[in-house]
Each structure stands twice: as structure tokens, then as C-alpha cells.
DNA sequence: CATGAATGAGCGTTCATTCAT
DNA sequence: GATGAATGAACGCTCATTCAT
């Protein structure tokens, strides 16, 4: 019925094509958003025909999920590599923050897909994200607990909440940073570090705030 | 021949119709997301025919922008009302936070539209949001500056960054709260207040953290 | 996003449009078969845009089902009208057959859709057909039973089987007739009538055949 | 660099491969219908790569035609073998019917492909079928003519029409039987035999029916 | 010889938008 | 003024078919 295929085509192993496709998808999803991204554009950018995308990575939803999965793994790896176990806790946190903001700064598209797109789609997408977020929180929590224990404090819920707030603040700052790209990443990181570490120090030392009314 | 049965139509003043439509739109946008919301469903929920929507509020994009605009104004008003000028700065911040989390808790749909939907659509939508955000940040900044000045500190960029981080953390916590609705709003607010106020206190007193390498 | 509608369009009441669409669909389905029929061609033939089809009659499957339903009802009505209650049984059967072959001859497309397409799709489509078929069989069976009872015979399963075979033979003959259109319908009907009526007469009188080995 | 692992492939003679492919095709076509059958599934079921199918049996249409051709030949052979020349005419017909219903019962897939699928695709497919059908009709006709001649009757068109009706009724009954598999095949065959043979007997003896108006 | 890799072409479906009444 | 009726345009997805290896 259809007489296909006119021009010669480079045959690449599946693995390579998959990476090409994922790269293109991340780019297009981050630029256009999930819904405005069309499979046609993705296939164009990838330099691959649409059927290949469906053959290798499934439906649009599947493709998006694969993007989220890969980028989330990359981000977590970057952070984990930044945090070096032999350093003192504050330096661990510091390098973790640096690694995070570095990822956001150098791979803006990846971060946009993760934070802006995945979260607003809800359902299975967000879950993958939330799982990664939880891992990040517990990473931070481990650090805080170590310090708190040394100081004799043992309020588990406090450190966990602080860790959650810290991660949240980092995300928000990163998001804000995307719209103010002229601020250097070290400055951003140091501001957050100060807020977190000093506030945490107060907490550890029992300095807390309560409403006066 | 045919005696056309015309169901009598309530003629309402334009203002009322517009509110009906916006209410319906906020509800549908927050439930389905921008793209999955159909003009048909919005017109159904509003009890108004589609051409009316186009006549009163323009295209789908215009309608969405109108939603964002109205809800953002509502949120800012709520916060501004919470902050009472005659109180000391810490209590002003505290009541501002309470007002914010109260808005998020009681008007979930509005918040979802604002934070989850508006952010993931690029362009004009985000801008409206960012404007409101900036107003919130400067509100907080004003407070912080007042305290800092009294203490003799005068690092403008520091208070502004702190304000930005605080607002970001609040948004992020609110977002997290949507998925954990059983946590009481006061607890959320107090955790954030502690982190912010104590960390800020340190900053004011010159206790800052610096990397040791 | 899309700027639609250039040329003036005749506004017709829904009922009329639905008939137009069904007429076109029957024609296209009978010509091309269910799968090779495209919604585009149907909408072209109907002189209506595709979205109208979906708005009025649903998916392709729904549309096909609606065709089957309408044509099956038409056929059954034609047969029922042909069979006049005041006539003797043989003449009732005769006029029923005439009506059937007349329908097949004058509305070839309808019959093709019913017999060739609906049956080969299976599932819900065939069921609608089988239901109609069952009504036809019981119509014939009623006739046969009346005669058999008058003659003192009371073998229910025999009349029913005969009725089923008769209906089946009629269908097959009709189908064969489509490929041999030069044979006059009356001749076809009379051949079948002879086979059925005389064979049935033998059965009633107890003349039956049994294998001799 | 890469030592390509080539799984050794069974080299089979063309004839065997072709049978494998046809077997798979008949199965898939009968299960899914012509259009819903995919070349991918056929090649999977056959255990042969798609290009082999195209090399050996041509396009999807060609493949389907080959299926029809083979199965039609098988059916006709089965019937011809059933009819044994030395028997009296009625027993020949009887055994022909038995052979037919036996084929339908034991090779349901083949029959479904032949009757349900081939018929609903127009054009060349139906023609192959009609040819086989004509051969079956003339087989029956030969029998009837022999009897009629012995009795002194010589109305050629009458026997031919009867033969056609008989074949049609048999097909139709077979089709009905597919949906009612609990009825024993002998009963089906005997009902049809009675109708045909007794009706034919009347015809031969000059007992015919004519409309009374 | 045998196949994994690749694609052109088309189909069913939806939706924002507007005109005739 | 208000709406039922109508559509252009695009999107996700599939499949028969073939070439490079």
C-alpha cells in the first residue's frame, strides 16, 4: 500500500538511538511543556522517525516518564558525588548544595523538565519525582542528625522537618534562579547555606521562636 | 410550522456572569490542568454558553490569565491583611505566614491554579505570577530591613536573598502540604518561622557561615 | 490557536444531519468494508465535517453500530409488512420471501453492510445482527407451527430447525444473488419457496430420510 | 572491536518455510480478521522474520490470497473424498455433507478464514471463494441430475438452483454452528439432508408449489 | 541467507474557535 | 443578546513495507 524509504539511512544500535531520542525529548519537553510538545517535533529534533520513538520508548507518556527517570537519576548522582563522606557535616552539605546548583545551572533543560513539568502533570510522574526528593531529604537528614546527636539533641521530627524545608527552599531558589540567571551560583548556595546552617545551629542549641500572643 | 420552544434565559449583569465564568474556570483548571481543561467543560460548569465566554473573557489563554490575575490578587490581599502594621516585626511575619497557609488550606483550588498550573505554562502566565511573588518578597524584605537597620546591619542584598528564600520555602512547603493535608497549618508555619527568624537573627548578629577550604 | 470557518454553512437541524451521515456511512461501509472505510471519506460523502460525525454519532465503531441498527430495523420492517396476517400460511411465507429479496435487490448497499460487514467484524456488531435473525426465524417458525399443528404434528425442534435453515438459505441465496444480479428476484424466491414448502410438507407428513448404512 | 554474536539460524527448504508461514497466517487471520492481523504477529507466530514472508509470499494481500487458496483446495478435497462414486446418489450427498461439516468442525480456523474473512474483503478474494463454491455446486448438481434423469425429469435450471440453495444453506448452517458448537455435527447434517432430499423428491415427482394469487 | 532497523503515509479523534439564526 | 451548529487544524499512534548490514 505504501511505498516507503527513499534515502539511505544510517543504522545505529538501539542504545545510541534511545539516547538521541531521550536527549531530544528532554529538550522539547522543557521548552514547550508536556502538552505543547508534539511527537513530531521530538522526532524532528532527534533526527529519527516517529515510529522509532514508539518502538523504542513507547507512548508519549512513557517517553516523558523515561525522561523524568533519567534526569532524576542524573541529578541524584551529581549530588551524591558532590557530598564526600570524609568531610565534616557542614562541608558535606555545602558541597551537596554546590553540586545541586551546578546541575541546575549547567543543565537547565533537565531541571525545568524535572521541576516545572513533572510536578504539574501529577500522577505517576510526580511520584517518581517525589521518590527522588525523599532520597534527597533523607540524605540531608542524615547529616543533620549526626550533628544534633553530637550536641545531645534528639528531636527526630525537628531534623526531618528542617531537612524537608531545606530541600524545598533549594528547589524554590533554583526555580527563582532560572528567572534571574545573572546571580552567580556560589552566592545562591551560600545564602541558603547560611540560612540553613545558622538556623539549624540555633535549633540545636535550643534557641527557638514562639509567638508572643 | 414548528413552534420553537425557547427556554427563557436569565439575563444577568455582565459582572455577575464574569464571576460565574471565572469561578468555573478556576475550578476546572485546577482539577484538570490547563491543557486538559476544555472550554466545553468550563462553559458547562459555569452554566453559560461558550460564545459568552469568548465574548466576555476572550480566548482560553485570556481566560486562564484572568484566573491567575484574580487569584493572585486575592492571595496578596489575604497576606497583606494578615500583616498588621502596629505589631512588632516578628509577629508581622508570623501572621503573614499564617494568612498564607490559611489561604492555601481553605482555597486549595486557587493555590493549585496559581502554583502548579501557571508555573508550568511558560510565558505571560509565569510573569503574572512572578510579579506577585516579587511583591510578596518585598513585603517580607521590608520587615527584615527594619529589624536589620535597628541592629545596625546594612547589607541590602542579604535581606533580599533571605526574603526570596523564605518566600520560596513557603511555596514549597505549601506544595508539599497539599499532598500531606493531615499536618496542621500552624505547625507548618511555626517550623518555617523558626528556621527563618533564628537564621535571620544570626545573620543580624554577624554569625555567618563560610566554607573552610 | 486555530482560525476556523471561512465559507458560509447551511445550518440544518440535528435530525437531518444525522440521516445524511448515516446514509453516507452505509454507502461507504458497504463499498469499502469496515476497516477500509475512512472517516474522512464518510464525512466527504455526507457533506459534513468530521467533528460533526463525532458529535452526533460518536466513534467509528458507534457509527457502524448505528448503521447496522438502522438497516436491520428497516429490513425487519419490510419483511413484517410483507407478511400479511390474513393470508394463508404459505402465502404469508411467500410474501415474506418476496419482501426480503426485494429489499436485498433494491437496497444492495444496506444488505451488504448487514450481511458481509457486520458478520465479519464479530463482537457487538454480530450480536445486533443475530438478534434480528432470531426475530426472523421465530417469525417463520410461527408460520410453520401453525401448519404443523393443523396436521397433528408436534415436533417443536423440527420446525425451529427448519425455520433456521430456511432463513440461512435465504441469506445465502441473497448473497449469491449479489454476484448474479441478472436472475429475477421472483425466480429466486420461488425456488427457495419450493424447496422449503415441499420439504416441509414431507416432514409434516412423516416422510423423512435416514442413512441406509 | 565488537565480536558480533550471530545466533545460528535453521536453514530450512523453502517449501517447509512456506508451510510454516501459511499455517501461522491462517491462524492469525482467523483470530483477528484480515485488517487486525499484523504482519508482525504473523511473523512472530511463524517464527520467521518479516522479510522472509515478503520474499516467499509477497505482500499482505498476496499472503491472504495464498491462505484462501490453500484452505479452499483442502476443503474441496475433503468433500470430494467423502463422496464415493460407487454409492447411491443419496448416500453420496449424505457423505459429502458429513465431510463438509467435519471439515468445519475440525478445522474451524480454516473455515473462518474462508467464510467470514474472505467474503468481507471484496475483489479478488471473494472470487477465489466463488470459484470453489461453483465447483461444489456443480458437484451437487451432478448428483441431482443423475437422479432427475432416471425419473425422467429434465429441468436443468431447477436442479442447479436447488444445488445452489443447498450449498448456500450448508454454508449458512456451518456459520451458525460456529456459534452453537454443542450441537452434534450429524444432527446438523441430517436436518439439512432431510430438507434437501425430500424437497428434491417432490420436485422430481412434479409436486411443486405456486402462488395462489 | 536472514534480519534488525528504519520510515512514509494515513487514520481516528479532539478541541479552540466562530458564524448563522 | 444568546446559542446550537459547524469546522480547520493538528496530534497521537499504527502498520505495511524495505534497505543496510
Summarised one tens digit per residue, pLDDT across range B61-90 is 999 999 999 999 999 999 999 998 899 989
Give the pLDDT mean for A19-28.
96
Q: What's the pLDDT at D127?
A: 78
pLDDT in tens, C179-211: 778 888 898 898 888 888 888 888 888 888 888
Q: In this complex, which of A90, A116, A209 lies closest to B198 when CB atoms are compared?
A: A209
Q: Which of D161, D163, D178, D207 to mutate against chain C (most C CBs within 10 Å)?
A: D161
Chains B and A touch (3+ CB pairs under 8 A): yes
CA distances from B138 to A170, B133, D147 (A): 20, 9, 109
Give whichever of A150-154, C64-68, C176-180, D12-16 has the largest mean pLDDT: C64-68
Average pLDDT for residues A16-34, to the nearest whole number?
94
Does the pLDDT of residue D46 top 90, yes or no? yes
Separation between Cα atoms, residue A153 and residue A162, nearest integer Å:
14
The residue of D119, D172, D193 whose CB has the most chain C CBs within 10 angstroms, and thus the best one to mutate to test that interface, is: D172
Position D213 scores a pLDDT of 67
> What domains, with CATH codes, occur in chain A?
12-58 (1.10.10.60), 65-204 (1.10.357.10)
Average pLDDT of span B44-55? 92
Task: Check CB contact under 8 Å for B169 and A164.
Answer: no
Q: Say how far apart CA A162 and CA C58 lie, in whole Å.
A: 54
Nine-digit cell string for B109: 483550588
Residue B93 confidence (pLDDT) above 50:
yes
Nearest to D175 by CA among D183, C81, C51: D183
Distance CA C164, CA C136 (A): 9
Nucleotide nearest C5, from its CA to each C1': F7
| Chain B contact set for A171 (CB, 8 A) | 168, 172
The whole-angstrom distance between residue C191's C-alpha and the CA centroid of its chain comes to: 20
Question: Rounded to an integer, what distance in angstroms lies between the CA atom of residue B112 and that of residue B177?
Answer: 12
The mean pLDDT of D59-80, rounded to a whole number, is 93
Contact (Cβ atoms closer than 8 angstroms) between residue B20 and residue B42: no
Checking if the pLDDT of C111 tops 70, the result is yes
Q: How many CB atoms lie within 10 A of CB D29?
A: 26
Q: Has residue D104 got a pLDDT over 60?
A: yes
What average pLDDT does the segment C35-56 reach? 94
Of the candidates B107, B119, B110, the one whose C-alpha atom is nearest the C-alpha of residue B29 is B110
Nearest to C172 among D121, D122, D168 (CB): D168
Residue A80 class from Cβ within 10 Å (0-12 exposed, 13-18 middle, 19+ buried)? middle
**pLDDT over threshold 90, residue B204:** no
Please, which pLDDT band fits residue D66 given cuts at 50, 70 and 90?
very high
- Asked whether residue D113 carries a pLDDT value surpassing 70, the answer given is yes
Residue A123 is predicted with a pLDDT of: 73
Residue D176 has pLDDT above 90, yes or no: no
Does the structure show a pLDDT above 70 at A5? no
- pLDDT score for B59: 94
The pLDDT of residue C2: 39
pLDDT value at D123 more than 80: no
| Angle at the Cα of C151 from the Cα atoms of C149 and C157, rounded to 5 degrees | 50
pLDDT at site D9:
53
Q: Which nucleotides of F are covered by protein (CB under 7 A)?
A: 1-21
Contact C117 D117 (CB under 8 A): no
Q: What pLDDT shows up at residue A48?
A: 94
What band does A19 get if pLDDT is binned at 50, 70 and 90?
very high
CA within 13 Å, CB half, D63 = 31
Q: Which of these, A140, A139, A138, lies nearest to A200 by C-alpha position?
A: A140
Residues 6 or more apart whose Cβ sits within 8 Å of residue A45: A24, A27, A28
Residue A195 has pLDDT above 90, yes or no: no
The dihedral through the CA atoms of A18, A24, A28, A33 has a sign that is positive
In terms of CA atoms, which chain D residue is nearest residue C114?
D120
Which among A88, A176, A197 is the nearest to B164, CB-wise?
Answer: A176
The protein residue nearest F5 (Cα–C1') is: C11
Confidence of residue A7 (pLDDT cuts 50, 70, 90): very low
B7 pLDDT band, cuts 50/70/90, is very low
Residue A51 neighbours by CB distance under 10 Å: 9
Q: What is the pLDDT of residue D5?
A: 43
Q: Which of C155, C119, C125, C135 is nearest to D174 (CA)?
A: C119
pLDDT at D3: 41
Closest residue of chain A to B123, computed from CA coordinates = A32
Highest mean pLDDT among C16-20, D146-150, D181-185: C16-20
- Cβ <8 Å between D164 and C173: yes
Whether C172 and D169 have beta carbons less than 8 Å apart is answered as yes
pLDDT score of B56 more than 80: yes
Is B13 within 7 A of strand F by CB distance? no
Question: Which residue in A has a C-alpha nearest to residue B207's C-alpha?
Answer: A198
Does residue C27 surpass a pLDDT of 50? yes
Note the pLDDT of residue A213. 67
Q: Backbone dihedral region of A2: left (phi > 0), alpha (psi from -120 to 50 degrees) or beta? A: beta
**Helix H or strand E encompassing B89:** helix B89-106
Sort out which chain B residues have CB atoms less than 8 A from A130's CB and list them: 179
Per residue in B153-162, pLDDT (tens digit) is 777 777 887 8
Smallest CA–CA distance from B30 into chain A, residue: A120
List of chain B residues whose C-beta atoms are within 8 Å of the C-beta of residue A207:
198, 201
Distance CA D42, CA D19 (A): 13
**Quick check: A83 and A37 in contact, CB under 8 A?**
no
Q: Is residue B43 a contact partner of residue B60, using CB atoms and an 8 Å limit? A: no
pTM: 0.86
Round to whole Å and give the CA distance between C157 and D3: 72
3-state SS, residue D59: coil
Q: What is the mean pLDDT of chain B?
A: 86
Percent of all residues in chain D with a pLDDT value above 90, rounded to a whole number: 40
pLDDT in tens, C50-101: 999 999 999 999 999 999 999 999 999 999 999 988 999 899 999 999 999 9
Over range B149-175, report the average pLDDT: 82
Residues of D in contact with C98 (CB under 8 A): none
* Residues D117, C120: C-beta atoms closer than 8 Å: yes
In this structure, of A23-37, B166-180, D1-15, D152-166, the range with the lowest mean pLDDT score is: D1-15
For B128, the grid coordinates are 503574572
Q: Lowest mean pLDDT: which of A120-129, A177-186, B12-21, D2-11?
A: D2-11
Q: Is the predicted pLDDT of residue B8 greater than 80, yes or no?
A: no
Residue indicated by cell numbers 521590608: B142
How many Cβ pairs within 8 Å bridge chains A and B? 135
Nearest CA in chain D to C160: D191
Mean pLDDT across the stretch D154-160? 77
pLDDT of residue C47: 92
Query: Could you tell me what percent of chain D has a pLDDT over 70?
Result: 94
Phi-psi region for residue A206, left (φ > 0), alpha (ψ -120 to 50) or beta? left
| Chain C with chain D: Cβ pairs closer than 8 A | 138
User: Is residue A8 scored above 70 in pLDDT?
Assistant: no
Measured from the Cβ of residue B85, the count of other Cβ atoms closer than 10 Å reads: 5
Chain C contacts of D169, Cβ < 8 Å? Answer: 165, 168-169, 172
Q: How close are the terminal C-alpha atoms of chain B, in Å?
A: 93
For D181, other C-beta atoms within 10 Å of its C-beta total 10
Q: Is the dihedral of CA C145, C150, C154, C159 positive or negative?
A: negative
Banded pLDDT at A2 (limits 50, 70, 90): very low
Higher pLDDT: A144 or D12? It is A144
CB atoms under 10 Å from CB of B187, counted, come to: 12
Task: Give the contacts of D102 (CB within 8 A, at least 6 positions apart).
Answer: D78, D82, D185
* Higher per-residue pLDDT: D168 or B106: B106
> Alpha carbon D115 to chain centroid distance?
7
The percentage of residues in chain B with a pLDDT greater than 90, rounded to a whole number, is 39
Contacts of A122 in chain B (CB under 8 A): 33
Reported as a pLDDT band with limits 50, 70 and 90, residue D188 is confident
Lowest mean pLDDT among B13-27, B148-162, C21-35: B148-162
Strand F atom within 7 Å of B108 CB: no
Residue D125 or D210, more confident: D210
Which residue is nearest to the C1' sugar atom of E14, using CA?
C51
Mutate to test the interface with A, among B169, B196, B201 (most CBs of A within 10 A): B169
Q: Give the tens place of pLDDT for each residue, A97-125.
A: 999 999 999 999 999 888 888 878 777 77
CB atoms within 10 A of CB C172: 24
Q: What is the pLDDT of residue A104?
A: 94
Closest residue (CA) to C1' of nucleotide F3 is B49
pLDDT of D59 above 50: yes
Amino acid at each position: 500500500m505504501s511505498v516507503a524509504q527513499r534515502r539511505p539511512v544510517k543504522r545505529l544500535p538501539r542504545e545510541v538511538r534511545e539516547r538521541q531520542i531521550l536527549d531530544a525529548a528532554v529538550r522539547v519537553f522543557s521548552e514547550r511543556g508536556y502538552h505543547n510538545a508534539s511527537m513530531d517535533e521530538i522526532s524532528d529534533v532527534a533526527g529519527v522517525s516517529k515510529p522509532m520513538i514508539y518502538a523504542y520508548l513507547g507512548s508519549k507518556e512513557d517517553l516523558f516518564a523515561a525522561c523524568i527517570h533519567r534526569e532524576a537519576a542524573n541529578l541524584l548522582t551529581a549530588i551524591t558525588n558532590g557530598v564526600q563522606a570524609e568531610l565534616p557535616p557542614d562541608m558535606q552539605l555545602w558541597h551537596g548544595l554546590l553540586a545541586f546548583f551546578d546541575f541546575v545551572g549547567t543543565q537547565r533543560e533537565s531541571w525545568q523538565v524535572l521541576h516545572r513539568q513533572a510536578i504539574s502533570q501529577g500522577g505517576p510522574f510526580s511520584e517518581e519525582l517525589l521518590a527522588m526528593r525523599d532520597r534527597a531529604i533523607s540524605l540531608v537528614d542524615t547529616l543533620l542528625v549526626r550533628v544534633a546527636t553530637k550536641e545531645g539533641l534528639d528531636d527526630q521530627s525537628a531534623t526531618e522537618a528542617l531537612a524537608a524545608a531545606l530541600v524545598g527552599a533549594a528547589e524554590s531558589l533554583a526555580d527563582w534562579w532560572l528567572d534571574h540567571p545573572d546571580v552567580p551560583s556560589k552566592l545562591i548556595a551560600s545564602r541558603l547555606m547560611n540560612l540553613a546552617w545558622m538556623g539549624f545551629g540555633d535549633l540545636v542549641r535550643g534557641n527557638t521562636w514562639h509567638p508572643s500572643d
